[in-house]
Copies of this chain bind each other. A is one copy, B any other.
Amino acid sequence: MTNGTEWVAVDWGTSNLRAWGIAADGSVSFAKSSADGMGKLTPDRFGAVLEQLLAPDLPDNAEAMDTLICGMAGARQGWVEAPYLEAPADLGGLAYGAVRPPRASALLAPRILPGVCQKRPGVEDVMRGEETQLLGLGALLPGFSGVTILPGTHSKWAYLSGRRVEQFATAMTGELYELLKTHSVLRLSLGDDDKDEDGRRAGTSTGLALGIDSPQRLASLLFKVRAGALLSGRSPTWSAGFLSGLLIGAEIGGHRDWIAAGQEEIPLIGGATLSAIYAEGLAMIGARGRPVEAAEATLAGLKLARSLG
């Protein structure tokens, strides 16, 4: 099959794998995804998994296809370790730090982009995948500098000067939500009734306001989920919204000093639902969020990394 694919862009995270065929004009020739995230694979399996996913869509009789990969595939427990760039870091140089894993097959010539780390004691931090989205942001919003938020399991706050990441921090907001919802005493008060969307939204707004106002009290405010259900008859759906809002509010409130007064818009790179909650929280402190679809940023970043590399 011939379809004009010139190279393949891959986002290989902990839980999922997504791939796009890219034609010479930059358009997407095919898109594939699978649940074979890095977390489910041993190093020897990455090559075969990728080949199996891509083979049906690759041109016949071609040379091994250039395949540029970002994300957790480059972690120590991934396919092959792609050592971190250290922040402050020029993201224009991502492709220079790429590592070639042991050859997957005659079909593919994969390269894995590095993550970015921050080594100063007390602010140690790491990212893998988000650096590519941050590079892509520069293509989507030319000339952008300032703070950017990437909401998610491990939310990132990054300060960009053009293509340079000056500093960043990871908040475990999404993972805390899942842990508390699944394993803590709060699970007794939580639910997911999609018929009560209004209740959920009301809970989220209340939680956002409280978290933003008192982020230093997070471990105490969390218990209000339980106490509110016991004493005030809060519904499971309201409580789930409240918990989510509280955690996100505390993240925003705790990083308030990252937001410069002069910044017009704060890009929110993530899914639409989550970004909307962050935007609501930012509005409460007089800031404006600008949602950017995560996959769009990733793809823009992989394209830019390849053209600069």
Question: How many monomers of this chain does the complex have?
Answer: 2
Q: Which residue of B lies closest to A180 (CB)?
A: B179
Residue of B nearest to A218 (CB): B218
Which residues of A from 1 to 31 have beta carbons under 8 Å from B? Answer: none
Does A154 reach chain B (CB closer than 8 Å)? Answer: yes
- Cβ of A216 < 8 Å from any Cβ of B? yes
| B-facing residues in A232-278 (Cβ within 8 Å) | 232, 247, 250-251, 253-255
A122 contacts the other chain (Cβ, under 8 Å)? yes
Enumerate chain B residues within 8 angstroms of A305, measured Cβ to Cβ: none
Q: How far is the CB of A38 from chain B (nearest CB, A)?
A: 12
Q: Are B219 and A125 in contact (CB under 8 A)?
A: no
| Chain B minimum-CB-distance residue to A127 | B227
Residue A210, interface by CB 8 Å: yes
| Cβ < 8 Å to B, chain A residues 201-235 | 210, 214-220, 222-224, 226-228, 230-232
Of residues 80 through 131 on chain A, the ones whose CB sits less than 8 Å from some CB of chain B are: 117-119, 121-126
* Chain B residues with CB below 8 A from A218, complex form: 215, 218-219, 250, 254
For the complex, what is the distance from the CA of A286 to the CA of B223, rounded to whole Å?
A: 28
Do the beta carbons of B184 and A232 come within 8 Å of each other? Answer: no
B180, A217: Cβ atoms under 8 Å?
no
Q: In the complex, which residues of chain B have a beta carbon less than 8 angstroms from the beta carbon of A171?
A: 219-220, 223
Report the bound CA distance from A230 to B216 in whole Å. Answer: 27
Query: B126 contacts A222, CB within 8 Å?
Result: no
Tell whether, in the assembled complex, residue B183 and residue A227 are in contact, meaning their CB atoms are under 8 Å apart.
Answer: no
Task: Please name all residues of chain B whose beta carbon is closer than 8 Å to the beta carbon of A176 when the two chains form the complex.
Answer: 219, 222
Given contacts A154-B223, A172-B222, A220-B171, contact A126 B231 (CB under 8 A): yes
Contact status B217-A254, CB under 8 Å: yes
- Say yes or no: B124 contacts A217, CB within 8 Å: no
Q: Is A67 an interface residue (CB 8 A)?
A: no
> Which of B123, B170, B184, B223 makes the CB contact (< 8 A) with A170?
B223
14 extra interface residue pairs, beta carbon distance < 8 Å, beyond A214-B254, A218-B218 = A117-B227, A117-B230, A123-B224, A124-B232, A125-B224, A157-B220, A169-B217, A176-B219, A176-B222, A179-B184, A215-B216, A216-B254, A218-B250, A219-B251
Q: List 6 A-B contacts (CB under 8 A).
A: A170-B220, A170-B227, A173-B219, A179-B179, A182-B183, A215-B218
